[in-house]
Structure 1
Amino acid sequence: MSSQQPRTVKQNLTIRLLRVLRYNKARIERALVLLPEEHRPLFHVLPFLLHVNHPDLPGYVAAEGEACFGLNNYSLREEVRQSIAAVFPEQAALLEDLKAIWPRQRAIDALVLMGSVGTIAQSDKSDFDYWVCVDSNKLTPTAMARMQDKLTALEQWAQDSFDIEVHFFLSDIEKVRDNDFGVAEGESAGSAQAVFLKAEFYTTNIVVAGKAPFWWLTPDSTTEKQYYALLNQLEAGGSPDLDWFMDLGHLDKLDVNELFGAAIWQLGKAMDSPFKSVLKMAKLEVFLDNLEREQPLCNLLKQRVHHGDEAPGNVANIDPYALMFDQLIAHYESTQQPDVVTLLQQCLYIKCGCKLSQPVEEGEVNFKRRIIAGYVKRWGWNRSQLRHLDNADNWTFSELVQLSRRIHRFLIQCYRRMSAQLKMDSQSVSKEDMTVLGRRLEAYYAKKEHKLDFLRIGFDDKVNCPVITVKQHKLKNGQPVWAAYYGNLLGKQGKAQDKTRVYTAETPEGLMLWCVCNRVLNTDTKVLLDYDTEPVVDNDLKSLIKHFVDIFPPVRVNAVSRQDLLEPAYIKACLVILNFTTMRIKPTVEEVTVVYSTSWGETFLVPGKEAIDKLWFELQEVFPRPPCYVFVPDGMQRKRIYQAFTDTTEYEFELLNYW
């Protein structure tokens, strides 16, 4: 290689670096523009709190000489100083002499933000997902543990002080390079999608402080051999300087063997964030269908950044989320799936939350609104369509459920189509992760006898009903059914009630339990009981709801622990309801309904006393023994009915208060 060639290589690396830095700066500016004004200081303060360690500041840990804080290449800019002063006005004296608390050692190589922040998908509710990149070879196990304590404390402080969910992922550079992301738990995908996770990181990352991934400087079509040849050209103190970068590994293609794990991971994430998961699941299907032709999205993005999107001044216009969305729409249009195209368009629009039908001041028109407005014009949407989507806060319950069902139907269909094409014996997801993810999906999606269905809905904050009307109807065969309706529908019939129906069940106990477990109602909900429901009265329902909320509160299946899912399901709580819809005149047990919840997050409602006999073994084998209760509605014979029940069982059941 001539002396000219290394110089040319380094010049090209420098040019790419300048464009990457410009793009990174634009992403930071976008993130700050979209953050509510009261949240912006947090963006600047978090890196500072990771850099220093002082008892009077959040995130302090007793380091005892261990290097467990300090950011590489970190310096204090004026806007950071202002943010720190605004957040910690009482620490003015401490902040005036920062040299006293400035670390001599730097334990953290980089703080890198990934996800929707700084893209059109950022919203006021977007999490801050940071990779805290470290070289564990240079840190003791004690230092790593102290650093994790510091990160956990800062996560809690951000939640308490700013009401923002912050996740710090302590990432060992060497393990990331080898695509080792641990096990699937909480926010971690584990073995389910290691290369996909790295691709997602490269697609969305913003370097907040410290070293940049060297991946950013290599051309999009680079091989692994070429990647390391370029890395070896760099020298400490050179231009570009080797000390500015970290090696998180090369990525030139995705791993088809991760697709199944990635698909079931997205199905799991859809339990909480269906609008995001529907786009990511579509991305997996598009990847599978274009396996031989397409580069990973992160490399297409990098190509755009390196080319300055054809002109250096336009590098700030590149948006990772929009790039992904364009790719999805092009695919589903080419495969002639107009219903899927419409669903993806609606999900993107709702996820971005621009509300174009509502006027804004001139200064409030930001990059996100401009991009979404461009999409809407291209799609040919009219004002009526925009108003309907912008008015989702006032949609009827059935409208909310209808869109959510379309989303989950698409997710399941995608999953099935991909499963049919994949060689299952070569999938890389570990056996344990497969068990955890599979059981999570089973708990949420699987239909089982007497099991309560989860309300698959993407609008958690809109599900709760402040007022519910409960009615009893008679079917043509004379069988009674119970239904809940949104709002005050006392005495109303016909279309008015059909539009507001929330759920129908065979019994009032089943109806109320479903509503409680799916966050439709709680103890603050005003429950109106319509006419002709004797012997059930208002206080019966209110008392039952109170106990359901206490014993069977809503469960987030994604929050069920990994350990619980690796073990067989066991009963966590049991409640027996006696004589709820009988006349309650005799001191005998005439009607039995058994409700129980399991360690996998499932809830069952089983009619008949024989249900207790079937649960005998499970109740006996669980240690410690799960709490078991009995609820008897109000009446003269209440305690005698309870006594008649306990006389015929071998278990201790605690009688719950009626009110």
Structure 2
Amino acid sequence: MSTQPSLSVQQNLTIRLLRVLRYNKARIERAIALLPPERRPLFHAIPFLLHVNHPELPGYIEPEAELFFGLNNFSFRDEIKTALTQCFANQQALFDDPKGIWPRQRAIDALVLMGSIGTIAQSEKSDFDYWVCVDGNKLSADSLRCMQAKLTAVEEWAMRCHDIEVHFFLSDIEKVRKNDFGVAEGESAGSAQAVFLKSEFYTTNIVVAGKAPFWWLTPDTTTEQQYYALLNALEEGGSPDPTWFMDLGHLDKLDIKELFGAAIWQLGKAIDSPFKSVLKMAKLEVFLENLEHDQPLCNLLKKRVHHGDEAPGNVANIDPYALMFDQLVTHYQAANEPDIVLLLQQCLYIKCNCQLSKPVSDADMTFKRRIIAGLVKQWGWSRSQIQHLDNSANWTLTELVQLSRKIHRFLIHCYRRMSARLQLEEQAVSREDIGVLGRRLDTFYSKKPHKLDFLRIGFDDKVTCPVITVKQHRRKNGTVIWAAYNGDLLGQSGKEESKARIYHAESPVQLMLWCVCNRVADLETTMLLDYDTEPVTDVDLHALIKHFSAQFPPVRVNAISREALLSPMKIMKCMVVVNFTSSRLKPTVDEVFIVYTTSWGETYIVPGIAALDKLWIELLDAYPLPPLSVFIPEGSQRKRIYQAFSEQAEQSFELLNYW
């Protein structure tokens, strides 16, 4: 019996293919339109660099294997030649006649983009995340090693010469089909959220060159058996031709066993990208709440594309992020959660960065602006709401922190609600990954005695204050607190002071450490010291900031190595501040603050001379001994204080220069 599909089935497959191709083309056009003009040539140049291997072009690797470059179905078109000429003006001869460098064989089945590129979420800072899909059975270990070296070289060239982050994920088609993604982005995405990762890929992918996933041609309600029946029925030379596609596997439902891992993964991601993670965490909760009857988002998207959004010409109007957002808002509106709906709307608007209140030219009237403007009208936002969000560059630090706290509060509450419904022993995430992800979250979120809190904020580039006023306040019970204020508030009090307050602590040492470690103050910050703060001077504060910046720079929790998080905690660096607010005329050790940072990325500040004994015990088995230093303010008794401190410490501490 012939397995060839019926004429009607073939016609349906062909119609779906045409609509998928139209949609893919629209996504490519969107991606290029949203790129800054100087980066647009890269969209065409990067695939070309993977296709060829020439010593005068970036990504060249001395051949150690027969096959490690070349893109399937890649052709040299006019727009590619133009882009290459712009990127490599000195290599024009290569592009006038590329036959000499054209590969005879092709090692890469497909080059596929995933993520925010080509959607309303694309920004000037969006990374280019490519899946480089290969048939691992056809490539030797040497070929794969050479290919990885080539990919790394192109990544480095893109960052070095064009300041753009490009990430290539070498993906074995057979392993992806089995949901085996190995280790990605520092932790095992395979153990934490393999099916979720595949769903994300199917939702956002753009085929830049090579074969398309066959998944795109199957109906959204297809079972796995039907999926393979359709794939196996295709015949070479027919239409569609099976050689046009790669089989990355069927996906008809997500796996509840991955939810716990996916949730803590998103919490980890939120440390650096809270606006994106709010939407993704909400998506996980919506999936859990609608587990019995909802399809994965990728299948809803595919259904829209297949149906042409009810008309073939409207395929180009479908946007993965907008579709996801509609799904989230519908859920939380039905749950009567207006505060969550507003938070999601604000996060999407800020992430998309359309700035609707600003003047616009014809060139700025992109699909992204049209979609966001349509959404804002649906939400019923006022002009003042839009202008306020568009003016976030001029928000006070207090305003930035308020929104960021709402974000992290939602993330934590969402995680807790999901955890309450999930049994940990039923989850797929490995113990090792739980250890790494859990330790990372503990570093960032947990409160411990003497541990410095992280400022949970999603506006890293807007945190540092050019001018900070430091004041000392006496409470009614006689105790003292020190507070930092954004801007010049010398002599001011009341409402203005309250609005500008950044942080307060019991000592200026604690205050300056918090400001430095949270990027609020740096060496460029002007420190204004209010009256009645003797013996502390503004020069003392600047000296402290200088040494804290050198010894305890801001920690990127997601940059802490997997190895460090899985190993026992150890002290990495220690600095003691002595007599900062004491009389500078006394030669004794009156005041001590011990500051140290650990291999888990935590920073502690412990007051009191007694803490020296605990530190001594901590350092007993430390090998090698971490750098130890002591800071003593300028004064006539500085050397005598250092001698007295050294006798008590019984460790060799380097005396830091005052300035």
Q: Residues of 2 paired with 1:503 and 1:4: CA distance?
A: 71
| Cα shift readout 1:342-373 (whole Å, capped 9, x = no counterpart) | 11111111111111111212342111111111
| Cα shift readout 1:160-199 (whole Å, capped 9, x = no counterpart) | 2221111111111111111112236438634111100000
What is the correspondence of 1:394-409 to structure 2 with a 5 Å cutoff? 394-409=394-409
Q: Residues of 2 paired with 1:347 and 1:463: CA distance?
A: 18
Q: Which residue of 1 aligns with 2:631?
A: 631
SS in 2 for 1:67: coil
Q: Which residue of 2 aligns with 1:62?
A: 62
Once structures 1 and 2 are overlaid, which stretch shifts more, 4-13 or 439-448? 4-13
Once structures 1 and 2 are overlaid, which stretch shifts more, 516-525 or 180-189? 180-189
Q: Which residue of 2 aligns with 1:505?
A: 505
Q: Which residue of 2 aligns with 1:9?
A: 9
Q: Which residue of 2 aligns with 1:156?
A: 156
| Cα shift readout 1:276-306 (whole Å, capped 9, x = no counterpart) | 0000000000000000010000000000101
SS in 1 for 2:208: strand
Q: Residues of 2 paired with 1:173 and 1:596: CA distance?
A: 47
What is the correspondence of 1:496-535 to structure 2 with a 5 Å cutoff? 496-535=496-535
Q: Which residue of 1 aligns with 2:167?
A: 167
Q: Does the Cα contact within 8 Å between 2:130 and 2:167 map onto a contact in 1?
A: yes
Q: Residues of 2 paired with 1:156 and 1:466: CA distance?
A: 33
Distance change in 2, residues 1:296/1:3 (3 Å): closer
Q: Which amino acid aligns with 2:69?
A: F
Shift of 1:154: 1.3
Q: Residues of 1 paired with 2:369 and 2:470: CA distance?
A: 43
Q: Which residue of 2 aligns with 1:478?
A: 478
Q: Which residue of 1 aligns with 2:198?
A: 198
Q: Residues of 2 paired with 1:301 and 1:14: CA distance?
A: 18
Q: Does the Cα contact within 8 Å between 2:129 and 2:167 map onto a contact in 1?
A: yes
User: How much identity, in percent, do the aligned residues show?
Assistant: 72
Q: Does the Cα contact within 8 Å between 2:466 and 2:487 map onto a contact in 1?
A: yes
Shift of 1:614: 1.4
SS in 2 for 1:232: helix
| Cα shift readout 1:593-642 (whole Å, capped 9, x = no counterpart) | 00000111110000012222212343232322211111111011111111
Q: Residues of 2 paired with 1:629 and 1:143: CA distance?
A: 50
Q: Residues of 2 paired with 1:103 and 1:3: CA distance?
A: 36
Q: Which amino acid aligns with 2:222?
A: T
SS in 2 for 1:587: coil
Q: Which amino acid aligns with 2:234?
A: L
Once structures 1 and 2 are overlaid, which stretch shifts more, 143-152 or 618-627? 618-627
SS in 1 for 2:458: coil
What is the correspondence of 1:220-299 to structure 2 with a 5 Å cutoff? 220-299=220-299
Q: Residues of 1 paired with 2:65 and 2:148: CA distance?
A: 16
Give me the CA root mean square deviation. Answer: 1.3
Q: Which residue of 2 aligns with 1:136?
A: 136
Shift of 1:82: 0.3
Q: Does the Cα contact within 8 Å between 1:440 and 1:558 map onto a contact in 2?
A: yes
Q: Does the Cα contact within 8 Å between 2:4 and 2:233 map onto a contact in 1?
A: no
Q: Which residue of 1 aligns with 2:304?
A: 304
Q: Which amino acid aligns with 1:126?
A: S
Shift of 1:531: 1.4
Shift of 1:2: 7.1
Q: Which residue of 1 aligns with 2:37?
A: 37
Q: Which residue of 1 aligns with 2:540?
A: 540
Shift of 1:61: 1.3
Distance change in 2, residues 1:394/1:632 (3 Å): same
Shift of 1:5: 4.6
Q: Does the Cα contact within 8 Å between 1:589 and 1:641 map onto a contact in 2?
A: yes
Shift of 1:468: 1.0
Q: Residues of 1 paired with 2:174 and 2:63: CA distance?
A: 24
Distance change in 2, residues 1:277/1:367 (3 Å): same
The alignment of Structure 1 onto Structure 2 pairs a total of residues equal to 659
Q: Which amino acid aligns with 1:520?
A: V
Shift of 1:518: 0.6
Q: Which amino acid aligns with 2:608?
A: G
Shift of 1:3: 8.0
Shift of 1:534: 0.8
Q: Does the Cα contact within 8 Å between 1:482 and 1:504 map onto a contact in 2?
A: yes
Q: Does the Cα contact within 8 Å between 1:173 and 1:247 map onto a contact in 2?
A: yes
Q: Could you state the TM-score of these two structures normalised by the residue count of structure 1?
A: 0.98
Once structures 1 and 2 are overlaid, which stretch shifts more, 53-62 or 260-269? 53-62
Q: Does the Cα contact within 8 Å between 2:266 and 2:277 map onto a contact in 1?
A: yes
Q: Which amino acid aligns with 1:71?
A: L
Distance change in 2, residues 1:213/1:187 (3 Å): farther
Q: Residues of 2 paired with 1:471 and 1:647: CA distance?
A: 34
Q: Does the Cα contact within 8 Å between 2:64 and 2:146 map onto a contact in 1?
A: no
Shift of 1:23: 0.3
Q: Which residue of 2 aligns with 1:413?
A: 413
Distance change in 2, residues 1:184/1:77 (3 Å): closer
Q: Residues of 2 paired with 1:230 and 1:5: CA distance?
A: 7
What is the correspondence of 1:572-587 to structure 2 with a 5 Å cutoff? 572-587=572-587
Q: Does the Cα contact within 8 Å between 1:185 and 1:562 map onto a contact in 2?
A: no
Q: Residues of 2 paired with 1:516 and 1:12: CA distance?
A: 61
Q: Which residue of 1 aligns with 2:124?
A: 124
Q: Residues of 2 paired with 1:610 and 1:459: CA distance?
A: 39
Q: Residues of 2 paired with 1:639 and 1:55: CA distance?
A: 61
Shift of 1:64: 2.4
SS in 1 for 2:620: helix
Q: Which residue of 2 aligns with 1:492?
A: 492
Q: Residues of 2 paired with 1:617 and 1:399: CA distance?
A: 43
Q: Does the Cα contact within 8 Å between 2:182 and 2:190 map onto a contact in 1?
A: yes
What is the correspondence of 1:320-339 to structure 2 with a 5 Å cutoff? 320-339=320-339
Q: Could you state the TM-score of these two structures normalised by the residue count of structure 2?
A: 0.98
Q: Which residue of 1 aligns with 2:549?
A: 549
Q: Which amino acid aligns with 1:259?
A: L
Q: Does the Cα contact within 8 Å between 1:6 and 1:233 map onto a contact in 2?
A: no
Shift of 1:488: 1.2
Q: Which amino acid aligns with 2:495?
A: K
| Cα shift readout 1:218-252 (whole Å, capped 9, x = no counterpart) | 11111111111111112333321222111111100
Q: Which amino acid aligns with 1:198?
A: K
Shift of 1:65: 3.5
What is the correspondence of 1:421-432 to structure 2 with a 5 Å cutoff? 421-432=421-432
Q: Residues of 2 paired with 1:597 and 1:190: CA distance?
A: 32
Q: Which amino acid aligns with 2:430?
A: S
Shift of 1:8: 2.7
Q: Does the Cα contact within 8 Å between 1:571 and 1:596 map onto a contact in 2?
A: yes
Q: Does the Cα contact within 8 Å between 2:187 and 2:562 map onto a contact in 1?
A: no
Shift of 1:89: 0.3
Q: Which residue of 2 aligns with 1:594?
A: 594
Once structures 1 and 2 are overlaid, which stretch shifts more, 393-402 or 176-185? 176-185
Q: Residues of 2 paired with 1:622 and 1:73: CA distance?
A: 58
Unmatched segments (≥5 aa) in structure 1: none
Q: Which amino acid aligns with 2:548?
A: F
Q: Residues of 1 paired with 2:480 and 2:102: CA distance?
A: 73
Q: Which amino acid aligns with 2:290?
A: N
Q: Residues of 2 paired with 1:366 and 1:375: CA distance?
A: 15
Q: Does the Cα contact within 8 Å between 1:190 and 1:433 map onto a contact in 2?
A: no
SS in 2 for 1:521: coil
Q: Which amino acid aligns with 1:589?
A: V
Q: Which amino acid aligns with 1:110?
A: A
SS in 2 for 1:648: helix
Q: Residues of 2 paired with 1:286 and 1:343: CA distance?
A: 16
Q: Which amino acid aligns with 1:282?
A: A
Q: Residues of 2 paired with 1:543 and 1:499: CA distance?
A: 28
